[in-house]
């Protein structure tokens, strides 16, 4: 399976969207593991541009993939490609204007919250002959759709702090830095992000740990645990298994 990512060109979109991604199908069905990363996606499914399979393509409605708090095993079918928009934590809210906790760990048709970014744009994208054209068309539509809806002022700041500190700030610290009470912060996060600030912090920390584990020049697992806010090796292993379904050692071999 071939996979690549493209960064948004528009600066306003870059603050909300991590990347556009394209997944080309292989000749045989392939299963792969998707891990929580703090993001939400919109996914468009197309027949392979060089499709040589005799079976007719059955259109799949564009879908929103809510923030994941657990791993998922998905199957890539032959002859089918996907174009995705990966939104940063909370980045999809201005486009759907729906409490994001309603999507957590779920898949929902885009048409249910935004038909322009659902079936309307899909009908235009499927007629285009290259991925560059499709991504360009989709980015233009997203720019047009971007409304003036915004988070409560400190929300973007809090999310950036969580990411910059790799999930190691406590809720008390986040609350103090933004002058928002912890309960109010919790309510805001469920609406504008989809999960609590504590859970988002754990997911962001886990995402960072997955990058450290791939770097064999890094410290031992014990060292990684202590320098990233885990109480010990066992704490890191339990949390890693919760989010990946694998022991850290098995993840490296996966």
What's the confidence (pLDDT) of residue 151?
63
Cα 10 from Cα 205, distance rounded (Å): 28
User: What is the residue extent of each domain of the chain?
Assistant: 2-145, 154-253
What's the confidence (pLDDT) of residue 6?
97
Per-residue pLDDT of 210-233, as tens digits, reads 999 887 545 578 888 989 999 998
Residue 235 neighbours by CB under 8 Å, 6+ apart: 225
What whole-number percentage of the chain has pLDDT above 90? 69
Cα 9 from Cα 61, distance rounded (Å): 26
Look at residue 2 and tell me whether its pLDDT is greater than 90: no
- Average pLDDT estimate for 176-184: 88
Per-residue pLDDT of 128-138, as tens digits, reads 989 999 999 99
Run of H or E including 23: strand 17-24
The CATH number of 154-253, from 1.10.10.60, 3.40.50.720, 3.20.20.70, 3.30.70.3270, is 1.10.10.60
- pTM of the prediction? 0.92
What's the confidence (pLDDT) of residue 180?
87
Contact 23, 1 (CB under 8 A): yes
Cα 243 from Cα 68, distance rounded (Å): 9
């Amino acid at each position: 399976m071939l996979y690549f990512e493209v960064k948004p060109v528009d600066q306003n979109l870059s603050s909300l969207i991590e990347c556009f991604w394209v997944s080309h199908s292989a000749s045989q069905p392939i299963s792969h593991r998707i891990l929580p990363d703090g993001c939400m996606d919109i996914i468009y499914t197309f027949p392979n541009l060089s499709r040589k399979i005799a079976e007719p393509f059955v259109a799949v409605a564009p879908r929103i993939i809510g923030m994941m708090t657990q791993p998922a095993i998905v199957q890539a079918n032959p002859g089918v490609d996907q174009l995705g928009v990966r939104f940063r934590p909370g980045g999809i809210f201005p486009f759907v204007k729906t409490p994001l906790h309603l999507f957590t760990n779920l898949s929902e048709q885009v048409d249910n919250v935004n038909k322009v970014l659902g079936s309307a744009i899909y009908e235009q994208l499927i007629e285009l002959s290259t991925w560059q054209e499709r991504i360009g068309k989709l980015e233009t539509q997203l720019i047009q759709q971007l409304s003036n809806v915004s988070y409560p002022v400190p929300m973007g700041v809090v999310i950036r702090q969580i990411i910059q500190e790799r999930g190691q700030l406590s809720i008390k610290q986040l609350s103090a830095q933004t002058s928002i009470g912890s309960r109010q912060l919790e309510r805001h996060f469920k609406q504008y992000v989809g999960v609590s600030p504590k859970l988002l912090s754990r997911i962001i920390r886990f995402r960072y740990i997955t990058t450290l584990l791939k770097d064999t020049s890094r410290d031992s697992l014990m060292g990684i645990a202590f320098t990233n806010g885990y109480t010990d090796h066992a704490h890191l292993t339990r949390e890693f298994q919760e989010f990946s379904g694998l022991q850290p050692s098995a993840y490296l071999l996966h």
